[in-house]
Amino acid sequence: MVRIGAAEGFYGDAVEPSVDIAKNGDVQYLCFDCLAELTMAILVKDKQKDPSKGWCKDITLYMNALLPYVQSKGIKILTNAGGIHPEGAAQEVIRVAREKGVTGIRVAVVTGDNLIDRIDELRNAGVSLDHMDTGAALETVRDRLLFANAYLGVRPIVRALQMEADIVITGRTTDTAQFLAPLVYEFGWKEDEWDALAQGILMGHLMECSAQSTGGNFSGRWWEIPDMDRIGYPIAEVREDGEFVLTKTHTSGGRVSVDTVKEQMLYEIHDPAAYVTPDVVADFTTARLEPDGEDRVRVAGATGRSRPETLKVVMGYRDGYMGQAILGYSWPDALRKAQKAEEIIRKQIERRGLTYDEVRADYLGYNSLHGPTVPEPKEELNEVYLRMAVRAKTLRDAAQFGRLFPPLGLDGPPSVAGLGGMMPPRELLGMWSCLVPRNLVEDRVEIRIEEV
């Protein structure tokens, strides 16, 4: 049996549940999934400002809280908080360890997922890098690229564990890789044990989003989830054949049930019969979920088939700028006032000859979440906020849009709140996905270890 605890589910997540698991969960591993595409863009901008950055800065908070348990309980930490600059994250972990007097731990850093400096090399090797969905040529965005990272699988993390690492820091990996790695390492699963690997991928998928398996973000009877103010993160008890029980600590809030687990099982998957990862193509439709006591769900039966010969690469590129503003209107006629303000702004855009790729208007308190599916309200709304946004090619054009709003405080419909309402323009990020032969990436992956 291997016990694995889920820690951070995204950059900026709560640290307390991972500390609770370290103290009370009797786990051997704490696994983090910190990265989303937006996160990579944030980290790139951090690194542009300071070359020593580019990693998830909350790793400092986590290491301060968890390193004592690494030392005293032998818990291993696996995290992709390295982001764009895993070496920098490793140095920060080492700095915190020395500051806290934690010694005798081995910190591994995995590199090789970052392909931004290898674009021309890959093209010369015959890799198209065209968009995998639209077929668009990379040349359309080549000069605007900010990052390009391949999704690594479990291999380098397992190798780092074999090199006796206590903490493994990677860049971009699949969301499940950190969770699968301990199983491959501990049980010695081979790379073609597809069903076992599929079970491990399913376990990782259920663990990767912090509390979404333990009652957080639950769309069932969410009001019955106990103690959400101290909700716990999941723990997996995994057997050598891959069957596992999902649970949590008794000292935390939340709930583990077939329904909470099932909802996370279906989260962010496209074809449940073909969940594609670098390690296995998993079929979740064969899995069985059964209650196994209070806050315990047993999961078995996921099956798998051979892994793909390519890795997915996600690139981010500059895609213009957003200008936006928000104005609030109160009863009476709140919606009509907001609609009139939108009309005024659109006419002023046209009269001033401002050109935007997209102009969007939403009414917060009426249709901002459900858009055109919302029927006209039958009763007067107490308040409505107009939120307008534009997609502009330049920062100057985006800023000009915001300047239209302050005059509405006195020149437009009455009862405006949040006078002016304009927000600083911000750069937009476009996403580009393509496939690269895995050997061209994996042959360049490196693992380095430093002992504190």
Q: What is the mean pLDDT of residues 305-327?
A: 96
Stated as kind and residue range, the H or E segment containing 303 is: strand 303-305
Is residue 172 pLDDT above 90, yes or no? yes
Across the strands, what pairs with 323? 390
Residue 190 CB partners (closer than 8 Å, separation 6+):
none
Kindly state the average pLDDT of the residues 268-281.
96
Please report, rounded to a whole number, the percentage of residues in the chain having pLDDT higher than 70. 99
> Looking at the predicted structure, is the pLDDT value of residue 359 above 60?
yes
- Secondary structure class of 367 (helix, strand, coil): coil
Q: Which of 49-58, 308-317, 416-425 has the lowest mean pLDDT?
A: 416-425
Distance of alpha carbon 69 from alpha carbon 293, whole angstroms: 28
Per-residue b/e over 237-259, b at no fewer than 16 CB within 10 Å? bbeeebbbbbbbbeebbbbbbbe
- The token duo for 36 is 């989303």
Query: In Å, what is the CA distance from 178 to each residue of 8, 23, 142, 387, 444?
Result: 12, 20, 31, 40, 20
| 197, 202, 301, 308 from 286: Cα distances, Å | 14, 11, 6, 20
The β-bridge relationship of strands 106-111 and 167-169 is: parallel
- Cα separation, 383 vs 333, in Å, equals 9
Average pLDDT over residues 357-383: 93
3-class state of residue 123 by DSSP: helix
Amino acid (one-letter) located at 252: S
What does the pLDDT read at residue 409?
86
79 Cα distance to chain centroid: 13
User: Quick check: 231 and 214 in contact, CB under 8 A?
Assistant: yes
Give percent above pLDDT 90 in the chain.
94
Single-letter amino acid code for the residue at 34: C
**What integer pLDDT is reported at residue 419 of this predicted model?**
54
101-147, pLDDT tens digit by residue? Answer: 999 999 999 999 999 999 999 999 999 999 999 999 999 999 999 99
Residue 417's pLDDT is: 73
**Which range has the worst mean pLDDT, 31-45, 173-187, 280-294?**
31-45
Question: Whole-prediction pTM value?
Answer: 0.93
174: its two tokens: 């699949």
Q: Whole-number mean pLDDT of the chain?
A: 95
Q: pLDDT confidence of 376, banded at 50, 70, 90?
A: confident
The secondary structure of 218-251 as a DSSP string is --SSGGG-TTGGGBPPPEEEE-TTS-EEEE--TT
Q: Compute the distance between CA of residue 443 and CA of residue 374 in angstroms, rounded to an integer.
A: 52
CB 90 within 8 A of CB 424: no
Contact 65, 15 (CB under 8 A): yes
Dihedrals phi, psi of 68, to nearest 5 degrees = -60, -30
Cα distance between residue 149 and residue 16, in whole Å: 30
**DSSP SS3 for 91:** helix
| Tens digits of residue pLDDT in 400-441 | 999 999 899 889 999 777 655 678 999 999 999 999 999 999
- Is residue 265's pLDDT more than 70? yes
The H or E element that residue 339 is part of is helix 334-351
Contact by Cβ (8 Å): 151, 174: yes
Report how far residue 326's alpha carbon sits from residue 383's, in angstroms, rounded to the nearest whole number.
13
